Amino acid sequence: MKQKKTASQPDNVLLIAFVLLVFIGLVMVYSASVFYAENARNDQFYYFKRQFVAFVLGLVAVMVFSSIRLTALKKIAPVALIAALVLAAYQGVVVRSRWFVLGPVHFQTVDVIRFVLTIYLPYYIVRAQEDLKSFSEGLLPALIIIASLAGLTVLQKDFSSGMALFLLGMTILAVSPARFSHLLGFGVSSLVVALGGIAISGYNMSRILVFLNPHEKPLEEGWQVIHSLTSLGRGGITGVGFAQSREKMFYLPEAHTDFIFSIIGEEWGIVGTLLIVTLFFTILVRGVRIARRQRDPYSYYLTVGILANFMWYSIMNMMIALKLLPPTGLPLPFISYGGTALLINMALAGLLLNLSRDAEVLETDPVPVTGKEQRVFYYTRKKQWRKNR
């Protein structure tokens, strides 16, 4: 057992990336929403102010989660999952809305659910271990959890977030001992079920596929795609300048939420968009580095889960803006307007910084894999900690 290093520092590069993203987000939420806020709320700072409140709460979340003990997280994971399932069921079946409202408290449920899924799945994997190789005994419960959370989210009339949850869960399982063939089979069959569901619900597939040729219906389904690309295209290399976007003048819907990336592209050009891409790429690189240093399987899967959160949301959001995916509403982490998302993302960021710190603490000492050895390992380590205290 190695001793704790003195003054274990979080990953500074990662920290800078997060700070930059949040800062750009706050500025761009203001810039992109100014017309909309002025028009709808008669106050050009309306959305900026609300986002700023979420940012302050997020700072608290960062502080809490960057110093929380992972064991505590592991302990609350099962309880959190049950709470999340109840919440998702209540929202999906009873309320049928993505917004949870209780007096002054109101938040977007999917962000809470993805947070719970991110901390619970690693817990499950660590417990199940080699059982995951068996489809019915190990993998199936996990898949049921993922599918029910995703399905209940779809019932909340939030199809795209349901998809994102599904991707998130599958990504965490993909790095677990579960068999690849099982995962692939389940993924493919889920896709078939989803497509069938779409067909049965009478939703017109051509409405989804119109994004491939938006100029067929430039004023209806094609509108968002056309204006997203126009916005990006207008930016050119250096952009039209801060607050100079014209597409945000009600042309591009959701300019300050799901399509904020396009406004960044218009105002800052490819310099700005590539900066955003680079920042997320930095998170990926540093995140993988942190994951590889984890000696605790739970931490490892948690790291991958957090990364999956950031990666899928950012990649899918940018691909939608670039007409590489059909337009559905997914926020760009840290940047899009949305208090719950910002708060949860900052909590996840805090957690990742926490893990980066732990990663440096535990240089070596791999955790034994199975059965008895592992139990012995944890037992002795626990004793060690108590002694150290």
Partner 1 sequence: MQRKKTKRYYSQQPEERRTQSGVRYGRLWLVVTGWVFLFLLIAARLVQVQILQHRYYVEASRKYQEDVKEVPARRGSILDRNGQIMAQDVLQYEVGISKSVIQNPQKLARVFSKHLGRPVKYYLDRIRRAKTFAVLERRVSPATKALIESETNEKLTWTRNFSRYYPFKTLASQVVGFCDYSGNQARAGLELRYEEYLKGIPGKMYFLRDARHHLVPAMEYPFIEPRNGYSLETTLDMTYQQIVEDELARGVQKHKAEFGTAILMNPHTGEILAMANYPGFDPNDYSRYSLNNYRNTAISYLYDPGSTFKLVPLTYILTHGLYNLDQKRVDCEKGRFRFRGVVFRDHEPFGTLTVREVFEHSSNIGVAKLSRRFNKKDFYALVRNYGLGMPTGIDLPGEERGILRKPRNFSRVTIPFMSIGYSISVTPLQILNMYAAVANGGKLMQPFVVRRVVDETGVVIEEYQPSEIRQLYTPEVATQIAQVLRGVVSRGTGMKARIDGLPIAGKTGTAQQFDPRTRSYHTGRYVASFVGFFPADQPEFAMIVVLFYPKKGYYGGQVAAPIFRNIALSIYSLREAYPQRHAARETPEAADAPDGPLVVPDVQGMNGQLAINLLEENGFAVKCIGNGNRVWRQEVLEYDHAGNPRKVALYLAQESPVTYKMPDLLGLTMQEALLQLEGLGVQTIIKGHGIVKRQFPLPGKEIAANKRVTIYCEPG
Note the residues at the interface with partner 1 (CB under 8 A).
35, 39, 126, 129-130, 171, 174-177, 180, 229-230, 232-237, 246-247, 249-251, 265, 269-270, 273-274, 277, 280-281, 284, 288, 291-292, 294-297, 300-301, 304, 308, 311, 315, 318-319, 322, 324, 364, 366-370, 373
From CA 307, how far away is CA 313, in angstroms rounded?
Answer: 10
Of 38 and 43, which has the nearer Cβ to partner 1?
Answer: 38
Closest to partner 1 by CB, 155 vs 183, is 183
For residue 319, CA distances in Å to 17, 91, 114, 254 come to: 21, 29, 21, 16
Task: For the CB of residue 314, give the shortest distance to partner 1 in the complex, in Å.
Answer: 9
**What's the token pair of residue 292?**
């590889």
Q: How far is the CB of 360 from partner 1 (least distance, A)?
A: 16
Q: How remote is the C-alpha of 310 from its chain's centroid?
A: 5
Give residues with Cβ within 8 angstroms of 315, minimum separation 6: 280
Least separation, in Å, of the C-beta of 42 and partner 1? Answer: 14
- The H-assigned helical ranges of 129-158 are 140-155
Q: Would you say 87 or 289 has its CB closer to partner 1?
A: 289
**Residue 128 CB: number of other CB atoms within 10 A?**
19
Nearer to partner 1, 92 or 287 (CB): 287
Q: Of the two residues 152 and 172, which places its CB atom closer to partner 1 in the complex? A: 172
What's the min distance (Å) between Cβ of 64 and partner 1? 27
Q: Smallest distance from the beta carbon of 12 to partner 1, in angstroms?
A: 22
- Closest CB to partner 1 among 293 and 357? 293
Amino acid 92 reads G
- Letter for the amino acid at 379? Y
Report, in Å, the least distance between residue 162 CB and partner 1: 20
Q: Is the dihedral of CA 286, 289, 293, 298 positive or negative?
A: positive
The CB-of-307 to partner 1 minimum distance in angstroms stands at 8
Work out how close the CB of 104 gets to partner 1 at its nearest, in angstroms, rounded to a whole number: 32
C-beta of residue 354 within 8 angstroms of C-beta of residue 73:
no
When the beta carbons of 311 and 348 are compared against partner 1, the nearer one is: 311
Contact indicator for 160, 330 with CB cutoff of 8 Å: yes
Neighbours of 298 (CB within 10 A): 20
The alpha-helical segments, DSSP class H, found in 68-139 are 70-89, 109-128
Nearest approach in angstroms of CB 336 to partner 1 is 16
Comparison of 114 and 234: residue with beta carbon closer to partner 1: 234
Distance between CA atoms of 330 and 266, rounded to whole angstroms?
19
CA distances (Å), origin 154, targets 110, 194, 203, 344: 10, 10, 14, 20
User: Rounded to the nearest whole angstrom, what is the least distance from the CB of residue 152 to partner 1 in the complex?
Assistant: 25
Count other Cβ atoms within 10 Å, centred on residue 57.
Answer: 16
For partner 1, give the closer residue by CB, 92 or 296: 296
State the Cα–Cα distance between residues 80 and 342, nearest whole angstrom.
20
* Spatial CA neighbour of 165 closest among 120, 114, 208, 123: 114
Q: Which is nearer to partner 1, 43 or 130 (CB)?
A: 130
DSSP string computed for 327-363: ----PPTTTSS-HHHHHHHHHHHHHHHHHHHHHHH--
| Per-residue tokens: 338 | 């949305």
- DSSP string computed for 47-76: HHHHHHHHHHHHHHHHHHHHHS-HHHHHHH
